[in-house]
Amino acid sequence: MRTAGPVGSGVLDAVTTRTFGTTIDRNPPRAFQLTDDLIPGKRTMSAPNKNYDPVAVTALSAAEVDRALADALAAIGAAATLDELKEARLAHDGDRAPLRLARAEIGALPPEAKAEAGRRVGAAMAAVRDAIGERQRQLERDRDEQVLVTERVDVTLPFDRTPAGARHPVTMTADRLADVFVAMGYEVAEGPEAEAEWYNFDALNIPPDHPAREMQDTLFVARPDGEPGPSGMVLRTHTSPVQIRSLLTRPLPLYVVSPGKVYRNEALDATHLPVFYQIEGLAVDEGLTMADLRGAIQAFVDALFGAGLRTRLRPDYFPFTEPSGDVSMECHVCRGESVKPGADPCRTCRSMGWIEIAGCGMVNPRVLVACGIDPDRYSGFAFGLGIERALMLAHGVNEIRDTVDGDVRFSRAFGMEI
Ligand code: DAH
């Protein structure tokens, strides 16, 4: 008799109590043995139902099948991730799953019970698979929705949020000046920023008692062993030591320019920086005169301000040049007009008409001698100028601090040259 009910309920109860009851008489019970027939994968064929034991087939009872099914559905429902669902599938639909093992025992039932048991177990297994499939789809949907949220890309955002960088205006000015000289056959030479005093001062004919050596101007480097006393090293106060380094290492004739950073013990204000840039020029050859120096100076003024501005030299003093001069150029803003009586004042040249831009001179023979060069055969000229100052003049910048503030609104005005 069939009893109505959910999958697996009732049907086998009838078989075990009634059908089994009659069969027990014909086939006396014997101890159950787990034979290969009962192990999935090892079974060669289903066993004929000659001898069976109700105990052996309790796995097929409606209660057991129901329980296995309920366990499976609970585990599937509880699986919160695809991995957990995989575990649940292996446990409840895998080779060792209770329902699979139960199905393996169907062969031990009498023929009349097999169909019922088969349907019961089959229905339970199908229900498990359906539940797994449903849960699988649901978890995949959840995962996909999650991915859409976590990996969301807003295609409407601006795509280029890191603007391309650009060279600093000071670097551009230094390069532009160096390029002018490179085009005339000069080489670019570099030297260290922590420099030996001998290069920075002695070899340049700057005597030990020269005011430039004093603590107020020069940043001295401490001894590496931490002991007090002089280390013989300074942060270079100008790019002129590169003259010495070039003269000692390069063959003559020599034409070099050396842009670079220099250091002075100065407070930062509108016109001074403790760290700034200079560019040095040095030419040593046979027969060089101040006329060559004048030509070189005119070349960089033309490069920086455009051709047509006059330059002039006035006597000055630098220990490493003899004679020495300071270079001025005609004011590029008022062109000297502000000097005339009744004219508008000029802020750029302070109505002087001329602007000082560099120091220069003929290389002092003592410098040549310090570098082992015969001053009777060779002569040379040198010049040095501050790059920030040149940039400020060329672009009408009033505050030298603008060059170090790092405000891109300042730098951007110079273009995005890379
Ligand atoms: N080194 C000098 C300074 O820092 C500038 C200078 C003057 C460089 C005359 C030169 C030169 O090469 O000839 O003030």
180 CA distance to ligand 1 centroid (A)?
19
Confidence of residue 11 (pLDDT cuts 50, 70, 90): very low
CA angle 234, 238, 241 (to 5 degrees): 75
The token pair that represents 313 in the structure block: 């030299």
Provide CB contacts within 8 A for 307, sequence distance 6+: none
Q: Identify the bridge partners of residue 277 per DSSP, sorted by sequence position.
A: 261
Q: What is the pLDDT of residue 213?
A: 83
CB atoms inside a 10 Å sphere around CB 187: 14
Residue located via tokens 């760290």: 275
Shortest CA distance to 102 belongs to which of 118, 115, 123, 113? 118
| Paired sense of beta strands 275-285 and 311-318, if any | unpaired
278 CA distance to ligand 1 centroid (A)?
9
Q: Which conformational region is residue 235 in: left (phi greater than 0), alpha (psi within -120 to 50 degrees), or beta?
A: beta
Q: Which of 29-33, 270-274, 349-353 has the lowest mean pLDDT?
A: 29-33
Which of 238, 254, 316 has most ligand 1 atoms within 8 Å of its beta carbon, as the pocket-test mutant? 238
- pLDDT above 70: residue 41: no
- pLDDT above 60: residue 122: yes
Q: What is the pLDDT of residue 18?
A: 38
Q: Is 280 in the pocket of ligand 1 (CB under 6 A)?
A: yes
As a residue count, the chain comes to 418
Shortest CA distance to 382 belongs to which of 252, 277, 292? 292
237 CA distance to ligand 1 centroid (A)?
10
Q: Which of 1-5, 224-228, 346-350 has the lowest mean pLDDT?
A: 1-5
340 CA distance to ligand 1 centroid (A)?
32
Which residue type does 15 have? V
147 CA distance to ligand 1 centroid (A)?
66
- pLDDT above 70: residue 62: yes
Q: Is 402 in the pocket of ligand 1 (CB under 6 A)?
A: no
Q: Which residue has the higher pLDDT, 275 or 56?
A: 275
Which of 383, 385, 388, 389 has most ligand 1 atoms within 8 Å of its beta carbon, as the pocket-test mutant? 383
256 CA distance to ligand 1 centroid (A)?
14
Q: Where are the beta strands (DSSP E) in 202-299?
A: 233-235, 254-263, 275-285
Span 332-360, average pLDDT: 93
Confidence of residue 146 (pLDDT cuts 50, 70, 90): very high
383 CA distance to ligand 1 centroid (A)?
6
326 and 313 Cβ atoms separated by less than 8 Å: yes
Tally of CA atoms within 13 A in the half-sphere of 364 that contains its CB: 19
- pLDDT above 70: residue 49: no
176 CA distance to ligand 1 centroid (A)?
19
Query: DSSP letter at 154?
Result: -
Confidence of residue 303 (pLDDT cuts 50, 70, 90): confident
SS3 284: strand
Ligand 1 closest atom vs CA 282: 12
Span 403-407, average pLDDT: 90
Ligand 1 closest atom vs CA 361: 13
CA dihedral 403, 405, 409, 412 (to 10 degrees): 40
Q: Which of 35-44, 223-232, 252-261, 363-372 has the lowest mean pLDDT?
A: 35-44
> Based on the number of CB atoms within 10 Å of its own CB, is 304 exposed (0-12), middle (13-18) or buried (19 or more)?
buried
Shortest CA distance to 345 belongs to which of 333, 356, 355, 357? 333
Query: DSSP letter at 345?
Result: P
Rg of the chain over all Cα atoms, to the nearest angstrom: 49
Confidence of residue 387 (pLDDT cuts 50, 70, 90): very high
Condensed to tens digits (0 to 9), the pLDDT of residues 74-120 reads 999 999 999 999 999 999 999 899 998 888 888 888 887 888 888 88
Ligand 1 closest atom vs CA 239: 1
Q: Is 240 in the pocket of ligand 1 (CB under 6 A)?
A: yes
Which of 234, 261, 263, 360 has most ligand 1 atoms within 8 Å of its beta carbon, as the pocket-test mutant? 360
Q: What is the pLDDT of residue 417?
A: 67
Q: What is the pTM of this model?
A: 0.63
Q: What is the pLDDT of residue 210?
A: 86
Ligand 1 closest atom vs CA 360: 13
Q: What is the pLDDT of residue 43?
A: 53
- pLDDT above 60: residue 6: no
Residue with CA nearest ligand 1 atom 4: 238
Query: DSSP letter at 10?
Result: S
Q: Which residue has the higher pLDDT, 54 or 373?
A: 373
Q: Identify the bridge partners of residue 363 per DSSP, sorted by sequence position.
A: 321
Which residue type does 237 have? T
Span 146-152, average pLDDT: 91
Residue with CA nearest ligand 1 atom 13: 360
Q: What is the pLDDT of residue 37?
A: 57
Backbone angles phi, psi at 233, to 5 degrees: -120, 145
SS3 329: strand
Backbone angles phi, psi at 383, to 5 degrees: -150, 155
Nearest-angstrom CA–CA distance, 406 and 409: 9
Tally of CA atoms within 13 A in the half-sphere of 396 that contains its CB: 6
Calculate helix-pair angle for 290-305, 169-183, nearest 10 degrees.
140
243 CA distance to ligand 1 centroid (A)?
10
Residue with CA nearest ligand 1 atom 8: 384
Condensed to tens digits (0 to 9), the pLDDT of residues 182-218 reads 999 999 999 999 999 999 999 999 998 888 787 668 9
Q: What is the pLDDT of residue 53?
A: 54
Backbone angles phi, psi at 366, to 5 degrees: -65, -35
Q: What is the pLDDT of residue 15?
A: 38
Q: What is the pLDDT of residue 408?
A: 86
Condensed to tens digits (0 to 9), the pLDDT of residues 325-344 reads 999 999 999 999 999 999 99
203 CA distance to ligand 1 centroid (A)?
14
103 CA distance to ligand 1 centroid (A)?
101
Q: What is the pLDDT of residue 155?
A: 86
